[in-house]
Structure 1
Amino acid sequence: MSDIRTNALREPVEVVDYLFRRLHQLGVRSVHGLPGDYNLVALDYLPKNGLTWVGSTNELNAAYAADGYARVNGLGALITTFGVGELSALNGVAGAFSEQIPLVHIVGTPSTISQRNGMLLHHTLGNGDFNVFTNMSENISCEVAKLNNPAEIADQIDHTLRQCWLNSRPVYITLPTDRVTTKIEGDRLRTPIDLSEPANDPEREEYVVDVILRTLYAAKDPIILVDSCTIRHRVVKEVTDLINKTNIPFFMTPMGKGALDESDPRYGGIYAGSGSDPEVRKRVEDSDLILFVGALKSDFNTAGFSYRTSQLNTIHLHSRLCAVRYAEYPGVRMRGVLQRLTKKVDLSKVNTVPVSAKSRTIRAAGDSQVITHDWFWPKVSDFLRKRDIVVTETGTANFGILGTTFPPGVVALNQVLWGSIGWSVGAAQGAALASKDAKDDRRTVLFVGDGSFQLTVQELSTMLRHGLKPIIFLICNEGFTIERLIHGMEAEYNDIVPWDFKELVTVFGGSDKTARKIQIKTRSELEKLFKEDEFNKAAKLQFVEVYMPKEDAPAVLVQTAEQSAKLNSKLK
């Protein structure tokens, strides 16, 4: 950029400052990633813009952590270097795309001159193609911005960050080394990015609401079923307002767990098709009207596609469309529909049937001291506190937590759709950091299996480095239980090398002052721990080994795994 152009700017600001100030304005306070020579200069600018550099142990873990941070904070940011760094993060970013998480992936790239000349640089494929990695990320990003042209950069950044928020998906931003300190117009930083959703066409919205109301008034036993996109697209308040006004009973899916208050007397339980409590399943599938909000009907979310609900009795509300029975209304977003529906509904015409108290999870009985899943997960209900952040790993934890009743305000983090083993450890680090950045007193509680833990164990180091205090329950059951149930119960590929897991806390930098190591092998030991004031206070990182039988698993996981195995074996 010429000096004349720079002097013509009202408030010159360097590109990196513009980008980082925008992230700060959107609520980001910590940035995950790893250093590399193409992003090093940019990293120098984080502190002056109120951002903390986290620094993970590898890019995959950093992506998982940025995902977890975004789920708690509302937006997450990840910085990697060109080629080797960004590709290592790709699995984590793909998971964020699949699960609809707003994540900003910033990649430091070679200079625009190097790219234009096709120079044979390190971290390239040696073929002069500098677009190949961008092309890979394009399929797992809702927007791609190459910050090459100074005249366009400010607009690119603002547009891309807006798309990240509105679509609740990752975006990909390249920051060439010769553009980091280029001056652009900074005056527009005075105006916040507009994050408001496009309004529905009033006439179309009114029509859809009238159709829904006619269907609702004709129903004898309507229910509301809440799924993950209710959380992802931030309509929890709108759904809560509708329930509070109409008193329509509500249920949640596995991926929707934690969206609404489970202590509410109108809450009926978790619906997961054949994996549901029998009374829950009957009530949902017998309902003559299901208002299904934010549905994401994946195999693990539906216990192997085992829903038995009729489309004739279902109204679907989504972030980009609404559907009443077989009629779809594209472009009519659920937020506006829910708001208008709540405002317009005539309570005298709405029928409601209260949920049965028997639909609650019942604790397993027995005198055995062996810790089983049927006993463990209901017991966790008594341990959890209001506003806890609960992170569960793919496998036994994701399915076991369905047997736990959450206190009000609990935030549940899971990765049921993408299901990348090891995700939860990084995600717990990011979630705990987001809570720390918000200066609240939330506990972060992680439930992870020993097999999964071995993939991403290094994030213990990052947790300790930043003074985070999660409570980590490591389920020790000798390997990959979910894989055993799908195929190969005794196969050695589902086994793991046994580690002295709790000692890893020391290996990765923990001390008696910063961490506590606990081993639990009996029910009485666990019950005692759950009642302990020091443990519940969570004043330091606490690592708990919980031993369970190798072949034991939550019933819903067994059923889902059986369905998955059948799908895998089907012939064309």
Structure 2
Amino acid sequence: MTDDPPATVADHLLDRLADLGVSHVFGVPGDYNLAFLDRVLAHPRMTWVGTANELGAAYAADGYARIAGFGALLTTYGVGELSAINAVAGSYAEYVPLLHVAVGPARAAERSGAVLHHTFGDADFERFARAHAEVVCAHATLRPGTAADTIDRVLGTAARDSRPAYLRLPSDVGSAPVTAPAAPAAPARPSRSSAAGDGTGLAAFTRAARARLERAGTVTVLADFLVDRFGARAELTRLLAAGPLPHATPVSGKDLLDEGNPLHLGVYSGAFSDPVVRALVDDADLLIRAGVVLADTTSGGLTHGFDTAAGIGLGPHSASVDGLVFPDVPLRAGLAVLAELVADRETPPTPHRTFPTAGAPAEDGPLTQDRLWNAVAAAVRPGDVVAADQGTAYYGMATRRLPAGTRFLGQPLWGSIGYTLPALLGAQLADRSRRGVLLIGDGSAQMTVQELGTFGRHGLAPVIVLVNNRGYTVERVIHGARAAYNDIAAWDWPAVPAALGVRDPLVATVRTGRELDAALDRAARTSGRLAFIEAVTGLDDVPPLLGSIAHSLNDRNTAPA
């Protein structure tokens, strides 16, 4: 006999999240979800992380998932879940697996059609679930009796597709006794747990890939972020070790590979690439594309010069050879096959590496973007998590070489500014052994800076470099260089961390390269204190790659209909 209370639907949900590697749930309390929060606090494998708002919570869950493999977000019904939906949509666009749980009115209130707070007053309690259906891969409303099976199905889909899922939970259902599921749960993170594919499809792909490799002269590999999202980093590494293959990544795949490898070309950005990189990618006899997503912001404004129907393409769940598609070939399995096939290839000439050499100029002067990112890249340590917000920070760092083992977080496809500050919060809670480095512009920071206080509450001490260039510099370069809509309010940035609850922050404002070097050195020598460096740069100064992409975007946006 046992006096333990029966497990509830909430307990089952939390157990399944823990099985997926989740140990932190991000969100904001509201009256509908408070009883569920009691179960979070009581769960032996779960920690509650209350954030300043739901948008920050969802960004944090995204950053957490990129490091831990899966994330979780809890909001209240209506006002809370809609505050988070932008971030959930970004997770969908960038293939980040997480679960958004929205707790709402009890079933009795639903049945009565009562006019309740956080609703439209029209008794339509599925309205916001329908909104989320457009930005998740799986969604459901939990009901007693079927809740366990539904939870397992939804979580399994999110893990397999590496995308967010959504559960609407009436408040009384969370406390209902759980009914054992009809079948065992899907394996934890199934998309990352197996490299096996359909035997017939994999065999056919192997034959086609072998024939294609046999008639190829030069072979280049272009790898992108889906390799990470579908757990294929190790298989990619084995492919590149199997033969001397030149390889590159778009900016979105920045942290996939060891950038110290002499065969690593650097960043491929279509027509804006270094000429050597562009030639080795666009003109290869055979281009192997692993998990590549061609977006305007990652392919030089869609100026890639290779034929997307030619060569070997590896997607999340299928592969192709010269346009012939082989279904049921997971990314990991395809990479494993190619590693075996390229092992005996002859050694091609070692390509020229294109990362710029970092170094201070002979004379000091006003801080430039070039000087800034060279210095920051030199200060990054192996194992750091570098979160670079969309804009000068992302494109400034993307072309710099980073140490092996560095994780590089950004959001180049969805491109929601302010994302990286709370995303780094999640990433650091996912792995406290990694130092956090946040690179963000003043305009982006004003979106989500309130989450600095959450860093302080949880004892996190990242190095933050905030670029103060007085507004939306990316937009200035695209259009409206001196338009009022690209201006922002001037903040007293050095006062912000303490005002938001960070205890004893290390704060500096730098305007020259030497001042920046001194501030970065002090941050490196100071442990346990959040370092906040305000780096003042020119109003119109942008990294060259970003300038090229910005002009391309403007041309496309203003082209005649």
Q: Which residue of 2 aligns with 1:268?
A: 265
Task: Sort the Cα spacing of 1:475 and 1:433 in 2 relative to 1 into closer, same or farther, 3 A.
Answer: same
Task: Sort the Cα spacing of 1:318 and 1:291 in 2 relative to 1 into closer, same or farther, 3 A.
Answer: same
Alpha-carbon separation, structure 2, partners of 1:366 and 1:314: 46
Helix, strand or coil for the counterpart of 2:431?
helix
Q: Are the counterparts in 1 of residues 230 and 331 from structure 2 also a CA contact under 8 Å? A: no
Q: Are the counterparts in 1 of residues 355 and 400 from structure 2 also a CA contact under 8 Å? A: no
1:120-139 → structure 2 map (5 Å cutoff): 120-139=115-134
- Alignment of 1:16 with 2:10, yes or no, is yes
Letter in 2 for 1:426: P
Q: Which residue of 2 aligns with 1:291?
A: 288
Task: Sort the Cα spacing of 1:312 and 1:511 in 2 relative to 1 into closer, same or farther, 3 A.
Answer: closer
- Alignment of 1:367 with 2:359, yes or no, is no
- Give the superposition deviation at 1:200: 2.3
Letter in 2 for 1:352: P
Letter in 1 for 2:205: V
Give the alignment partner of residue 25 of structure 2, picking from 27, 31, 37. Answer: 31
Give the alignment partner of residue 75 of structure 1, picking from 70, 85, 88. Answer: 70
Q: Which residue of 1 aligns with 2:535?
A: 546
- Give the superposition deviation at 1:259: 0.8
Q: Are the counterparts in 2 of residues 220 and 352 from structure 1 also a CA contact under 8 Å? A: no
Q: Which residue of 2 aligns with 1:412?
A: 408
- Alignment of 1:318 with 2:308, yes or no, is no
- The 10-residue stretch of structure 1 (49-58 or 36-45) with the greater mean CA deviation from structure 2: 49-58
- Give the superposition deviation at 1:370: 1.8
- Alignment of 1:141 with 2:136, yes or no, is yes
Helix, strand or coil for the counterpart of 2:408?
strand
Helix, strand or coil for the counterpart of 1:379?
helix
Letter in 1 for 2:499: V
Q: Which residue of 2 aligns with 1:454?
A: 446
- Alignment of 1:105 with 2:116, yes or no, is no
1:441-480 → structure 2 map (5 Å cutoff): 442-480=434-472
Q: Are the counterparts in 1 of residues 300 and 549 from structure 2 also a CA contact under 8 Å? A: yes
Give the alignment partner of residue 161 of structure 1, picking from 145, 149, 155. Answer: 155
Structure 2: gaps of 5 or more residues:
none
The CA deviation string for residues 390-421 of structure 1, in whole angstroms up to 9 with x for no partner, is 00101111111122211010011000001011
Q: Which residue of 1 aligns with 2:344?
A: 348
Alpha-carbon separation, structure 1, partners of 2:323 and 2:419: 37
- Alignment of 1:179 with 2:199, yes or no, is no
- Give the superposition deviation at 1:565: 0.7
Structure 1: gaps of 5 or more residues:
1-6
- Give the superposition deviation at 1:295: 0.8
Alpha-carbon separation, structure 1, partners of 2:287 and 2:213: 9
The CA deviation string for residues 370-403 of structure 1, in whole angstroms up to 9 with x for no partner, is 2211222223222111110000101111111122
Q: Are the counterparts in 1 of residues 443 and 471 from structure 2 also a CA contact under 8 Å? A: yes
Q: Which residue of 2 aligns with 1:41?
A: 35
Q: Are the counterparts in 2 of residues 11 and 186 from structure 1 also a CA contact under 8 Å? A: no
Alpha-carbon separation, structure 1, partners of 2:309 and 2:92: 31
Letter in 2 for 1:523: G
Q: Which residue of 2 aligns with 1:382?
A: 378
Q: Which residue of 1 aligns with 2:511?
A: 521
Helix, strand or coil for the counterpart of 1:380?
helix
- Give the superposition deviation at 1:493: 0.7
- Alignment of 1:63 with 2:64, yes or no, is no
Q: Which residue of 1 aligns with 2:520?
A: 530
Task: Sort the Cα spacing of 1:192 and 1:318 in 2 relative to 1 into closer, same or farther, 3 A.
Answer: closer
The CA deviation string for residues 24-71 of structure 1, in whole angstroms up to 9 with x for no partner, is 222111111111111010001112212111111111111111111111
Alpha-carbon separation, structure 1, partners of 2:235 and 2:342: 17
Q: Are the counterparts in 1 of residues 223 and 291 from structure 2 also a CA contact under 8 Å? A: yes
TM-score normalised by length of structure 1: 0.93
Q: Are the counterparts in 2 of residues 480 and 495 from structure 1 also a CA contact under 8 Å? A: yes
Q: Are the counterparts in 2 of residues 11 and 187 from structure 1 also a CA contact under 8 Å? A: no
Task: Sort the Cα spacing of 1:536 and 1:284 in 2 relative to 1 into closer, same or farther, 3 A.
Answer: farther
RMSD: 2.1
Alpha-carbon separation, structure 1, partners of 2:374 and 2:67: 25
Letter in 2 for 1:156: T
- The 10-residue stretch of structure 1 (407-416 or 49-58) with the greater mean CA deviation from structure 2: 49-58
Helix, strand or coil for the counterpart of 1:448?
strand
- Give the superposition deviation at 1:258: 0.5
Letter in 2 for 1:393: D
- Alignment of 1:119 with 2:108, yes or no, is no
Q: Which residue of 1 aligns with 2:551?
A: 562
TM-score normalised by length of structure 2: 0.95
Alpha-carbon separation, structure 2, partners of 1:196 and 1:353: 39
Letter in 2 for 1:496: I
Q: Are the counterparts in 2 of residues 13 and 186 from structure 1 also a CA contact under 8 Å? A: no
Letter in 1 for 2:541: D
Alpha-carbon separation, structure 2, partners of 1:362 and 1:276: 17
Q: Are the counterparts in 1 of residues 63 and 426 from structure 2 also a CA contact under 8 Å? A: yes
Give the alignment partner of residue 388 of structure 2, picking from 384, 389, 392. Answer: 392
Q: Are the counterparts in 1 of residues 19 and 188 from structure 2 also a CA contact under 8 Å? A: no
The CA deviation string for residues 143-181 of structure 1, in whole angstroms up to 9 with x for no partner, is 112111x22111111111111111111100111111111
Helix, strand or coil for the counterpart of 1:347?
coil
Helix, strand or coil for the counterpart of 1:16?
helix
- The 10-residue stretch of structure 1 (114-123 or 558-567) with the greater mean CA deviation from structure 2: 114-123
The CA deviation string for residues 157-214 of structure 1, in whole angstroms up to 9 with x for no partner, is 1111111111111100111111111112358999774543484221221111221122
The CA deviation string for residues 90-115 of structure 1, in whole angstroms up to 9 with x for no partner, is 11111111111011100101112222
Give the alignment partner of residue 214 of structure 1, picking from 211, 214, 218. Answer: 211
Helix, strand or coil for the counterpart of 1:45?
helix
Alpha-carbon separation, structure 2, partners of 1:82 and 1:526: 45
Alpha-carbon separation, structure 2, partners of 1:392 and 1:404: 12
Q: Are the counterparts in 1 of residues 217 and 285 from structure 2 also a CA contact under 8 Å? A: yes
- Give the superposition deviation at 1:470: 1.0
Q: Which residue of 2 aligns with 1:3?
A: none
Alpha-carbon separation, structure 1, partners of 2:228 and 2:383: 15
Q: Which residue of 2 aligns with 1:254?
A: 251
Q: Are the counterparts in 2 of residues 422 and 452 from structure 1 also a CA contact under 8 Å? A: yes
Helix, strand or coil for the counterpart of 1:497?
coil
- The 10-residue stretch of structure 1 (311-320 or 246-255) with the greater mean CA deviation from structure 2: 311-320
- Give the superposition deviation at 1:467: 1.1
- Give the superposition deviation at 1:360: 2.7
Alpha-carbon separation, structure 1, partners of 2:481 and 2:355: 31
Task: Sort the Cα spacing of 1:537 and 1:189 in 2 relative to 1 into closer, same or farther, 3 A.
Answer: farther
Q: Which residue of 2 aligns with 1:242?
A: 239
Q: Which residue of 2 aligns with 1:87?
A: 82
Helix, strand or coil for the counterpart of 2:541?
coil
Give the alignment partner of residue 232 of structure 1, picking from 221, 229, 238. Answer: 229
Q: Are the counterparts in 2 of residues 144 and 160 from structure 1 also a CA contact under 8 Å? A: yes
Identity %: 36
Alpha-carbon separation, structure 2, partners of 1:496 and 1:373: 20
